[in-house]
Amino acid sequence: MLKTTDMLLLLFCLVGTSDSLYKQWIPDTNYENKTNWDKESVPCGNDIVQFPVQRKVSVFVETTHAVQEMRLPVDGEFILNSGAGFYVVSGQDPGCGAGVMTKFKDSESLQWLNPALWQGSATLDDLQRGNFLFSVHEESVPCQYDDVVFKASSSFRVDTSTSQSSVPVKSVSVLGKKYESTSEFTQYLSSRSGRLQFHGSSAVTVGNQECGDPSGCSCGNYVNHKRICSTVQCASLGCKKPLLPVGHCCEVCGAIVTIHSATGFNLQTYRQRIHHLFLVLPKYKSIQLGMSKIFKSQQLMGIVPFGTSPEIQVVIVDEEKGTQSEGLARDILKDARSHGSSLGITEAEFQASSGNSSDQTGGSAGMVVGTVFGVLIGISIIITLVFLIRRGVIQMPSSLPSLPSLSSFRRSRDEEDLNGPIDHGYDNPIFDKPNLMPEVPGLYATETKNSISMTQSGVHFVNPVYDDNETDFNA
């Protein structure tokens, strides 16, 4: 796994490589965290402490605290650090003031799928130093190959409900203990602390292996895209043409580089290359860059879906309406144009929020061949359908309107002579030519067993098979 102390690494994201990322849950239910109290301060000796009566809560207590009175919930727990506890002050606490009623905030609504409640880093050391990565919203939430971390000296409560019955990850660390075994973590979830900390309709499962594809793996959170985005509020933008990256809930000002790769492409190696070539430059110090492998839907002739195509998406965002992002995107394409063959890059292109875009780098012949191949497939499908319909293998629905034949256009010129359209019933290559039909007078002439006549009402015949009953048919 790559390790670096460079602060610029926090601006670079990689999802789906052979080394997993660490995703840390931000909120906690710690007693000493002032943001957990409605008065925005930790209670003191003259205060009355109240927890939500009907809520479940697991509270971590790090030190000793004085209180005037404490009202506890129906179901909850205190996790006491060594030497921590509570005591009641006799009389007044001189450093506390008059004393107030302070309430512990409800943490029931905090959701696993909220990307704002997670921080990602390449290593545990980066988590402790605050070197966090930029990611699209789908990948800010723990991916299937990630290590999930809950702070060692803290407790929490998280709603793990998702669109699926389980939430697969590589490992989960709680209270300083790392769980990688399914049976061991299942046992913890069934404990009192586990039930108070994790709740919801989906169960978190551990034991997923690392991504084995050097070119990267999908995060796997696309199935929860709508639920993830329901927790996100998008800001207003000032750029000319905002862009919407795959996996992101909001449009951004910046640039998106799309890379098509071949055998030999290594996402982790490419990550290091972009970092050392560009992100260390002073002119790109404000850049946020996220890289991930995505799968785009492919369509035959732009209509018929026939699978997905893997791509490397590089999202570049800056604080200057995307101007710096476009410059970096051009530098990345220039590098791909010069060294793409050795890096395993076949095509590269970008689009920017300024409205500018690039021509594809590499793979032009492949695109032409692909386009021609797609057209040939479409023509072959049409020819096959026509052949099967003519052979009777495929029956056209009777409710569909019949298509006009060439002879119908020819007959339309004679309609005026007959004072109206001729009802031939159906086109027959033998009898659909009036000049070949004998002029037999009368309708349904019984003297002739096989008689055919054409009048203004249409073509009529007597069928010899049913002629014993003198039954005639109007075609």
Helix (H) or strand (E) holding 392: none
Mean pLDDT of 7-22: 47
Report the pLDDT value the prediction gives residue 136, as an integer from 0 to 100.
96
β-partners of residue 454 are 459
pTM: 0.70
Helix (H) or strand (E) holding 455: strand 452-455
* Conformational region of residue 99, where left means phi above 0, alpha means psi within -120 to 50, and beta covers everything else: left
pLDDT digits over 412-428, tens only? 544 444 455 555 555 55
Report the pLDDT value the prediction gives residue 259, as an integer from 0 to 100.
95
Q: Tell me, what amino acid is at 380?
A: S
Question: Does the pLDDT of residue 179 top 80, yes or no?
Answer: yes
How many CB atoms are closer than 10 A to CB 278?
Answer: 20
pLDDT class for 55, splitting at 50, 70, 90? very high
The number of C-alpha atoms within 13 Å of 330 and in the hemisphere containing its C-beta is: 10
Going by C-alpha positions, the residue among 105, 108, 94, 93 that lies closest to residue 30 is: 105
Question: Tokens in use for 348?
Answer: 């590269």
The mean predicted confidence, pLDDT, of the chain is 81
pLDDT digits over 110-160, tens only? 999 999 999 999 889 989 999 898 999 999 999 999 999 999 999 999 999
Q: Tell me, what amino acid is at 445?
A: A
Q: Which of 102-106, 229-233, 465-469 has the lowest mean pLDDT?
A: 465-469
Question: Tokens in use for 229?
Answer: 């985005």
pLDDT digits over 85-100, tens only? 999 988 888 889 889 9
- Beta strands 85-88 and 64-67 are parallel
Residue with the bigger pLDDT between 313 and 376: it is: 313
pLDDT class for 107, splitting at 50, 70, 90? very high
List, in sequence order, every beta strand (DSSP E) within 281-332.
Answer: 288-300, 304-317
pLDDT digits over 219-264, tens only? 999 999 999 999 999 999 988 899 999 999 999 999 999 999 998 8
* b/e per residue 441-471 (b: at least 16 CB within 10 A): eeeeeeeeeebebbeeeebbbbeeeeeeeee
Going by C-alpha positions, the residue among 223, 378, 215 that lies closest to residue 309 is: 215
